[in-house]
Structure 1
Amino acid sequence: MKYLKTLTSFALLVSLLLSCTTKAQNSNNNTKKTGKMNTKNQEIVNVALMYIKDGEEARFEEYKKKGSSILEKYGGKIERIIKPKMLVKGELEMPDEIHFASYPSIEVFNKFNEDPEFIQIRNEYAIPALKDISIFTSKNTDFEFKKEVGDKSKTYGVALIYFNDGEKYEKQFEAYHDEVCTIMPEFGTHFERFIAPFQSKGSIKQPNEIHRFYFDSMEGLQQMGTDERMQALFPKRDASLKNLYFFIGEASL
């Protein structure tokens, strides 16, 4: 994988990438009110930042294999595993893996986590293999025509987003997202998920939103960063965010 030569120019893009998903989030809320479009409002997405102990990689791989087999019995699945290669925004120890698991409903999610066989596998494999883990249980907030699906050949981005307090900051984000969303497709940026956590466990504070997207090429992303239209939008973005962790990595699933 080829990464940007400078992290500074890349970091400038982060908030702009997020703005289109914010637009879709708002559109989704309006959709629920008007009933013009169906949403997957029952789906739950669990996001886990995994920190694996040195020498315990094989044990953790066994946990993933056995755990996902049980998950499938409940109609759930591990939909994406991303191995971060760099943290381009924020200050945080970089996890070894970021897992996205989906469940048909919160009831299924709870039943899976209470399954005796899964508890045994978790205790035997996951707990001894991990030095730390942060988990965010999230509601699905996207809808079909906004969602695109990449593959293992793509470069992925995962953003944990923390907004400043106050409605005015969300409106500030909305003020320029229309322009951004018309530019980004030219450079091969695609969104897979944007979800809203409602509970969390672990040392990392619960974000307001989590976004996942992929890029057709890092070259295209770099070109987008130097585009004059994008450069003109950079000054509008920072004030709306309290904090942001942004990872770039490869997909192993």
Structure 2
Amino acid sequence: MNVLKLNLSLAIVVLIMSCNKKSETSTIALHKTNKKNKVEEMAISKKEEIINVALVYLKDGQEEKFEEYKRRGAAILEQYGGKIERIIKPKMLVKGDVELPDEIHFASYPSIEVFNKFNQDEEFMKVRKEFAMPSIKDISIFTSKNTDFKFKKETGDKTKTYGIALVYFKEGEKYRKQFGEYHDEACKIIPEFGTHFERFIAPFESKGRVEKPDEIHRFYFDSPEGMKQMGTDQRMQALFPKRDASLSNLIFFIGEAIL
């Protein structure tokens, strides 16, 4: 009888342990599945994301009106799940031949469908008509998607010095490949000087006087000193001819973040 009770108790313990193990295994499996699904969702989200870049030229004395447009427009955009992610005030045109914009805006949208709905929103169209149109002298807009370039995305702040490059490749796949090789080699060097990447995007639509680039890069430097040191580094100097030989044009702004 005691042996029977002992065997029965052991059987129950084994059963409980098996259930607990199964439950634990199921929890781990579920966690892994959820994690995998989350990663897949993020990948899909990143692929569908739209980034709108605007080079903005303001009329004299209309800065306050344009600030009101930014406040109201951003509030409406947030209702659609989008946001104004970065605004740069250019201080210097390092390379290229364009007029220095007053501001460069980067706005992100979850998808092209959301982008289109936002731009057709009646309230936003009223805000744009009342505040944007009277305050903007000129504007060039590039509607873009993320590129396939894999990089460690980092987020700067208003204390950083920013670089924005509008990249135009020469015609032919070999030049894109050549620029890619330059970029891979440069990316091994520039982190030494406190350089961080925020965006690599490829415009597919544009409007305005500035020609649509093939790619737009946004990055920041921890300090102006680091930026200067990077530009004069012998290894980078040796790579620049390879970069320039692959491009038909390069517009490069240096500025500060106001958002």
1:13-32: CA deviation from partner (whole Å, max 9, x where unpaired)? xxxxxxxxxxxxxxxxxxxx
Structure 1, unmatched stretches of 5+, are: 1-34
The aligned counterpart of 2:43 is 38
Structure 2, unmatched stretches of 5+, are: 1-39
Tell me, in whole angstroms, the C-alpha distance in 2 between the residues paired with 1:201 and 1:229.
Answer: 37
The aligned counterpart of 2:126 is 120
| Contact 2:83 2:107 survives alignment (8 Å) | yes
Amino acid in the other structure paired with 1:126? A
1:177 to 2:183 alignment: yes
1:58 to 2:64 alignment: yes
The aligned counterpart of 1:108 is 114
Q: Percent identity?
A: 75
Which consecutive aligned stretches of 4+ in structure 1 deviate over 4 angstroms post-superposition?
A: 142-145
1:15-64: CA deviation from partner (whole Å, max 9, x where unpaired)? xxxxxxxxxxxxxxxxxxxx9x9351110000011100001001000000
1:147 to 2:153 alignment: yes
Name the TM-score, length of structure 2 as normaliser: 0.80
Tell me, in whole angstroms, the C-alpha distance in 2 between the residues paired with 1:142 and 1:148.
Answer: 17
| Contact 2:149 2:200 survives alignment (8 Å) | no
| Cα pair distance change 1:90/1:58, threshold 3 Å | same
Question: How far apart are residue 192 of structure 1 and its match?
Answer: 0.2
Instruction: Find the residue that maps to 2:189 and give its secondary structure.
Output: helix
Which of 149, 163, 170 is the aligned partner of 2:169? 163
Instruction: Give the helix-richer structure, 1 or 2.
Output: 2
Question: How far apart are residue 143 of structure 1 and its match?
Answer: 7.4
The aligned counterpart of 1:17 is none
RMSD: 1.7
| Contact 1:142 1:193 survives alignment (8 Å) | no
Name the TM-score, length of structure 1 as normaliser: 0.82
Find the structure with the greater CA-based Rg: 2
Aligned residues: 218
Which of 1 and 2 has higher RCO (CA within 8 Å, sep 6+)?
1
1:129-168: CA deviation from partner (whole Å, max 9, x where unpaired)? 0110111110122678521110111000111111000011
| Contact 1:90 1:243 survives alignment (8 Å) | yes
